[in-house]
Amino acid sequence: MIESWRWFGPLDAITLPEIAQTGATGIVTALHEISYGEVWPREAIAARRAMIEAAGFTWEVVESLPIHERIKRGEGDLAPLFANYRDSLRNLAAEGVKVICYNFMPLLDWTRTDLKAPVAGGGACLRFEAYKMAAFEINMLGRAEAEADYPAAVRARGAAWFQSADEATREGLLHAIMSGLPGAYDRYDIAGLRAALKLYEGIGRDELRANYKRFLQEVVPCAAELGMRLCVHPDDPPRDILGLPRIVSTAEDIAWVLAAVDDPANGLTLCSGSLGANPANDVPAIARRFADRIWFAHLRNVRKEPDGSFEEAAHLDGDTDMVALIAALLAAEAGRDTPLPMRPDHGHDLLADIGRATHPGYPLIGRMRGLAELRGVARALRK
């Protein structure tokens, strides 16, 4: 596997020379400064590629080429947005970048309630606390339907938290939930989030699937013609959030996506942390089932709790058997013309990273530790 590293470009506090010291050889990045729906100019792609190559890396994967919210909602004349997406694919292919990670999560990307949850031995991790999410949806956002989404005990604990929390603490929760949005995009305040959610009224699972299938039908043939691989990222967490349906959360969801346009260009980003947060998912089994359509891998681990909470564990700890998963990915890679790019996904804030202004979940030392552990497993399995 190609050991890769997510880098947020000029927005990233971690520099390419620092990444070189981790042993990673590939970079995973995007043009985060370009607004959703606009064409990525070839000149901008070439400049970013030159910056990466000058530092001694290859640009292995785009993460992400975002999908405009109007496409997810199926709203209005979408032909220009589909055309722009295809043009961006053509410009990326012309610069030799042919693996594209994206997601079809409505409105938000990954969602957490705590960005600095303490871990044993020191350091901090990302955490999803069910009662805090309940408090946010019910008590802060005022979404009436959220009452039915949480057990009574979780709702009660969330209400107690809300009553005891001061305004700064509540704002901290909003900030954490908004932090999954990449790059420099504006975050929502409560009023803005309510307005954005209103645009999704009437869009359930079936409607979102129909809109997703249309997107695939519009762009996968272009990707196939260019020799590219589109790799959907699973929902994070793999459950409905804010009343919005999530449709890439289980093995059966993935099977539907890959069958919607049955072409190798329509593939999967195997994210062990996202999938691993659903108790019904056997992540190594999912990797074995879809081995011929996995074109990119995010490797991290989570530790789940009965009420739906989870936290990000060290890469070899947690609930997913990482050794079995890496064995499945190595088997999937065998016989291919090109190796499988993977990256250590997320990491604990450790040592000198504590207090450093890195993107949440993306510290230097915690991910370097994870990469070293994953590298050791892969080399042992190859022996």
Residue positions annotated with a catalytic role: 233, 271, 298, 345-346, 362
CA distance 173 to 171: 5
Per the DSSP assignment, residues forming a β-bridge with 302 are: 312
CA distance 305 to 303: 7
* Lookup: tokens for 328: 């499945």
CA atoms within 13 A on the CB side of 29: 28
Residue with the two structure tokens 């959610």:
197
Question: In this structure, which amino acid lies at residue 329?
Answer: L
CA distance 74 to 207: 8
Q: Which of 338, 301, 343 lies closest to 322 in space, CA to CA?
A: 301
Q: Are 336 and 329 in contact (CB under 8 A)?
A: no
- H helix or E strand, kind and range, residue 174: helix 167-178
CA torsion angle 207 276 264 77 (round to 10): 30
Per the DSSP assignment, residues forming a β-bridge with 304 are: 310
Question: In this structure, which amino acid lies at residue 351?
Answer: L
Residue with the two structure tokens 């609930």:
319
DSSP E strands: which ranges in the chain? 2-6, 26-29, 58-63, 99-102, 114-118, 124-128, 229-232, 266-271, 294-299, 301-304, 310-313, 341-344
* Lookup: tokens for 18: 């620092």
